[in-house]
Amino acid sequence: RLLQFLNSDPLETHIIEDNQQYYLLLIIWFQSFQNLSEERNFVFLSNKIEPSSVLEKAPLYDDLKKKLIREKFLGPNFTESYCWPPVARGCDVVAISYEGNDPFLYIPPVLTFLQSESCYKALPSRNGVSLILCPGWKKAQLVFELLKTYGRCSRQLHPMLIILGQKKEEAKRVKIQGCDIIVTTPYSLLRLYEHHCLLFCRLCHLVFDEIEVLFSEATEQVFTVLDYYKKTISTEEWKYLPHQIIAVGTHWNKHIARLIKEFMNDPYVVITAMEEASIYGNVQQVVQHCLSSERTAVLLKMLDFTPNNLQKVLVFTNSVDEVEMVHKALKSNSVFALKIYKEREFNFKYILEHWTKSYTSGSHVVLVLTDDCMQFLRITDASCVIHFSFPSSPRIFGQRLCNMSDNFHNMIKDSFVGQEHTKAKSVILLTENNACHTLGILRFLKRAEAEIPPKLHDYVARMLEAEEEKKSARPLCTFLKTFGICKNRTMCPDRHQINLQIDILQNMPDKIIQTSGCVTV
C-alpha cells in the first residue's frame, strides 16, 4: 500500500540553498558519509546547513559525546546530521523524516544548549526550561527515560514527566520548581497551566514530538500552547533570552505551515522524505483512473495542450519495451519526444543537450525513460512527472518527484498559491493492476490537499466495507468499546460494526436490562 510505500528509506538526492540566490534550490548528488556504497540520500533545506556526519565532530558537548560512544550510539544518521547543528545553535527547526518519531533528532543538541548557563543570565536561576510535548503518555515516558540517561552528563539537568488526569487536585500537587525539562502531553500541560500560570516564564525551548500526530489529535490545544508561548516571549525582558521552537515528525501536515509563518523566526526546514518535500513544495498531485490498456490514449490526451510557458515533461516507465511503445505512440501522434534507457548509455549526452538547451515560451519537451536513468541524467527542472508505470518502490517514487525540485514552491519565501497555479505537477495513472495502493493514495492526496477523484473515494469505501465484512468473526474492537472510536480502523484486526446477536450482554436477567429511559454516564 502507498501508506507503507511512503514510509521507507530516505531517497537518493540532496538539495541545498544556493549561496548566490536566496532560497534557490539546487540538486547535488553525493555519497553518504556513513555508507560508502552507491546509496545516496536526499535532503530539502530552506537554509543552508553544513551537516555533522561524524559524532566526534558533532556540535554536542564533550561529556555527552563520550556517553553516546559508551552506549555504542551509531549516529548521527543522515537526518540527525542536518538537524543537530541548527538545534544546537538555538534556531527554530522543522524536521520531517522517515525517522521523524525518533527523539534523538532533538535530545542531544537540546541538552547541549541547556548546558550554556551564560545564555540564561537574565533568568533568576540562570536555568532555561525546555518543554517537550508528546502525543501520548507512552512516548512521553520513552523521552523522559532518555533524558534521565543522557541528562546526567556534565551539569546535571532535572527532567520531569507530567501526566495528569481530569482531577484538579493532581495539577495542584505538581511542583515544578528546579525542573529544567518538562515532558508531557498537550492536554496535561493545559491542565497544569490552570494552576501554574507562571509555567511559561522560564520556558525557552518548546519541542513538538511527532508533530503530525499532535496536530491531528490535539490541534486546538497545540495552538493554545503556542499562543501562550508567543505572548510570553514578546515581552521586553525576553529580548535577550533564547527562544526556540522545534517540531519533528514523519509527515507534513497543513498546520505546520501556520506554525512556521506565525510562530517561528526564520526556521530551518529539513525534509529527508521526498514525497513530503513535494507536499511542502505544493506540487499539484493528480490521479488519473484508467484501464492498463488505455494508458497510452490517456497519456496522449494529457500531452495535447498549448501551454503559455515552457513545459518539460518526464514520462516514467518500468521497462525498455514500455519506453519503445510509448515513444512510438507519441511519434505517431506528432508529439516530439526523446527516449532513453540504460542500454542506450551513449545517448545520455545527446539527451541532456536537448533537455537543457533554450526553448521558446510555449514549447514542450517530452522525455520517456526508465527509472535507472535518473542517476545519470540528474534532472531537477522538470515541470511535470507522469507515472505511466506505477513506481516500483518508495525510493523510486521519491526520485521521480525529485526531478521537479527546482519548481517546488517555497512557503517561507513566497506567499501561498493554490495547486492550480503551481509550477510542478505529478500525475499517477492508476490502473486495475495497482488497486491495492488506492487507500494509501487517497490518504496521500488528502494530506496534499489535492483534488480527489470521486471514483477513488467510492472504490476505497467499497474496499473498506469488504475488509470489514471479513472481520465478522473477530471480537469487537477494544478501542471502540472504551473510547467510542478506533483511530486506525484499516490496520486494526478487530471488528468495528455492532452485531446485536454477539455484542448484547450475556447471562443478564431480563428485568435488569432497561429498554427505555435515560442513562447517565
Q: Say how far apart CA 429 and CA 290 lie, in whole Å.
A: 7
Q: Say how far apart CA 328 and CA 7 lie, in whole Å.
A: 36
Judge if 230 and 121 occupy the same domain. Answer: yes
Q: Does residue 189 form part of some domain?
A: yes
The confidence score (pLDDT) of residue 64 equals 93
Q: Say how far apart CA 405 and CA 36 lie, in whole Å.
A: 25
Judge if 431 and 479 occupy the same domain. Answer: no
361-373: average pLDDT: 89
Which of 382 and 30 is assigned the larger pLDDT? Answer: 382
Q: Does residue 520 form part of some domain?
A: no
**Is the confidence at residue 465, as pLDDT, over 90?**
no
**Is the confidence at residue 386, as pLDDT, over 90?**
yes
User: What does the mean pLDDT of the chain come to?
Assistant: 83
Q: Write down which residue in 204, 234, 268 finishes a domain.
A: 268
What are the backbone dihedrals phi and psi of residue 246, each rounded to the nearest 5 degrees, phi first? -125, 130
The confidence score (pLDDT) of residue 138 equals 94
Q: Does residue 237 form part of some domain?
A: yes
Matching residue, cell 503559455: 308
pLDDT band of 40, cuts 50, 70, 90: low
Judge if 148 and 107 occupy the same domain. Answer: yes
Judge if 244 and 105 occupy the same domain. Answer: yes
Q: To the nearest whole percent, how much of the chain has pLDDT over 70? A: 85
Judge if 228 and 370 occupy the same domain. Answer: no
Judge if 133 and 164 occupy the same domain. Answer: yes
Cα distances from 185 to residues 136, 182, 262, in angstroms, run 6, 10, 22
Whether residue 15 contacts residue 25, with contact meaning beta carbons closer than 8 Å, is answered with yes
**Is the confidence at residue 29, as pLDDT, over 70?**
no
The confidence score (pLDDT) of residue 107 equals 96
Domain count, the chain: 3
440-451: average pLDDT: 88
Minimum mean pLDDT range among 43-47, 144-148, 253-257, 289-293: 43-47
The confidence score (pLDDT) of residue 103 equals 97
Q: Does residue 273 form part of some domain?
A: no
Range of the domain at 489: 473-505
Closest to 158 in 3D by CA, of 219, 192, 98, 202: 202
Q: Say how far apart CA 65 and CA 150 lie, in whole Å.
A: 10
Q: Contacts from 437-441 at CB under 8 Å and sequence distance 24+? A: 437/1, 437/2, 437/5, 437/390, 438/463, 439/1, 439/2, 439/3, 439/463, 439/464, 439/490, 440/1, 440/2, 440/3, 440/4, 440/5, 440/6, 441/2, 441/287
Q: Does residue 482 form part of some domain?
A: yes
Judge if 91 and 123 occupy the same domain. Answer: yes
Judge if 144 and 167 occupy the same domain. Answer: yes
Q: Does residue 196 form part of some domain?
A: yes
**Is the confidence at residue 269, as pLDDT, over 60?**
yes
Judge if 213 and 348 occupy the same domain. Answer: no
> Which of 434-465 are b and which e, b meaning 16 or more Cβ less than 10 Å from the residue's Cβ?
beebbbbbbbbbebbebebbeebeebbeebee
Model-level pTM?
A: 0.83
Judge if 237 and 345 occupy the same domain. Answer: no
Q: What is the CATH number of the domain that holds 369?
A: 3.40.50.300
Q: Does residue 45 form part of some domain?
A: no
Q: Does residue 156 form part of some domain?
A: yes
Judge if 360 and 394 occupy the same domain. Answer: yes
The confidence score (pLDDT) of residue 417 equals 52
Judge if 102 and 241 occupy the same domain. Answer: yes
